[in-house]
A and B are shown apart, each in its own frame.
Chain A
Amino acid sequence: MALTVEGLACIRGERQLFTDLQFRLAAGEALLLHGPNGSGKSSLLRLLAGFLSPAAGKLLWDGAAVSEDTDAYRARLLYLGHLDAVKPQLTATENLAFFAQLMTGAATAAAEDQAKQALEAAGLTRQRSLPARYLSAGQKHRLALARLLLSPATLWLLDEPTNALDSASVAWLGAVLQAHRDRGGMVILASHVAVPLPGARQLTLPEGRLA
């Protein structure tokens, strides 16, 4: 399993964010994206998630172009943006169970069991029947990250996952990422603070230039 990016370019509006981007990510590897605000970290992640189409270049999975089988590629990845996608009216369990059903097509009871386990792992057991509107920003974000535990995806694309997290939660996230890589998963992560991701490759995006 490997993701290869060749000569990727991205244009947003009139601005060229990056050109001729190359990297290769194999099973168990992690890539940390650096760069100033507006350098295109989020755009690169959305591009890899398939929401944006590249202005030039190719995305290859095991040597085959991703665009040939977008459904299969979509099933391999999980993109979590900086929005939490948590519905304030639903409880923590309902929020996670909905995600499990959406992604795996599990039955309601099975999805709730999975959600309970993920909440326990994320340290949110006490808040599980609480409507999400009563959660703090950090708890809400941990709830969003608990989705990582429910997804069968190989490639995780994370945009600023450490926002609003306290140091214990950052350590928990580091353990989750490490366990995923030990299973042969891949992580691409954009962050401007230190994330516990030992042995991660680094990619610095240059300051955006005018096209």
Chain B
Amino acid sequence: MSAFLAIVGRDLRLGFGAQGALLTTLLFFVLAVSLFPLGVGPEPQILARISAGVIWVAALLAALLSLDRLFQGDQEDGTLDLLAQAPLPLGLAALAKVLAHWLTTGLPLSLMAPLLALLLQMDSEAIPVLLLALLLGTPSLSLIGAIGAALTLGAKRGAVLVPLLTLPLLIPVLIFGVGAVEAAAYGLSASPHLLLLGAFFAGSLALSPFAIAGAIKLALE
């Protein structure tokens, strides 16, 4: 457990540092969303109609933006060799890195989203649901994205390959995430969508550590 927390703590410190991805990710998210009122026009009905989709797509892309570096830094400086030698199973070490990634991208994105939802005239009933859906959905983005990041270790164009590999797998998160918000906006129950988001998170939490560990072992050869 101490080793797990040591990895999380180290990655958080690196993430908040000068080269950290935290600020770039958040800035990308805010800029991408605030371009829509400028591009589509300021009509409240149109903005309210597209708000859930815009926020979710921007969050998805922002979370993927920083993912290709998740294991690459550790591979380039040899830290990955040490992680693979530790008594902690490699899947758990990877999970610690994914947790740190979520704490520096998914969590701040989710907390920022209600403000952007106000900007896009989202129905006030739907805003708490948006926050909840993002909190349930963004961990899946980090988990599934990390598989892509581990698979593209050593590839020259990792930054392009990670979204190509993982976006198809993340479409369910997008569909149910947007579905939950729209259901709440139309006064329907959001819980089926939220439950499915939760199920997707549970599934990826259980399975992705094995996939990530397998991919990292290939990269170590």
Contact = CB atoms under 8 A, between A and B. Distances in A.
Interface residues of B, number: 26
Interface in B63-98: 76-79, 81-88
A77 B81 CA distance: 12
B13 A84 contact: no
A65 to B, nearest CB: 19
A51 B2 contact: no
Contacts of B77: 83-87
A52 B221 contact: yes
A111 B178 CA distance: 46
A108 B3 CA distance: 10
Given A87-B14, A89-B18, A101-B6, A81 B78 contact: yes
B2 A87 contact: no
B2 A105 contact: yes
Of the candidates A51, A52, A81, A86, the one having the most CB atoms from chain B within 10 angstroms of its own CB is A51
Contacts, number: 74
Contact of B85 (A74, A101, A111): A74
Contacts of B81: 49, 51, 79, 81, 83, 85
B203 to A, nearest CB: 27
Contacts of A111: 6
Interface string A64-95: 00000001001101110111111101100010
A138 B27 CA distance: 39
Contacts of B14: 87, 89-90
Given A79-B85, A106-B2, A90 B13 contact: yes
A85 B85 contact: no
A172 interface: no
Interface in A169-197: none
A98 B2 contact: no
B18 A77 contact: no
A83 B78 contact: yes
A94 B18 CA distance: 17
A107 interface: yes
Interface of B: 1-3, 6-7, 10, 13-14, 17-19, 76-79, 81-88, 217, 220-221
22 contacts: A46-B221, A51-B81, A51-B221, A81-B81, A82-B78, A83-B76, A83-B78, A85-B79, A85-B82, A89-B14, A99-B82, A102-B6, A102-B82, A102-B86, A102-B88, A103-B86, A105-B1, A105-B2, A105-B88, A107-B2, A108-B2, A111-B6
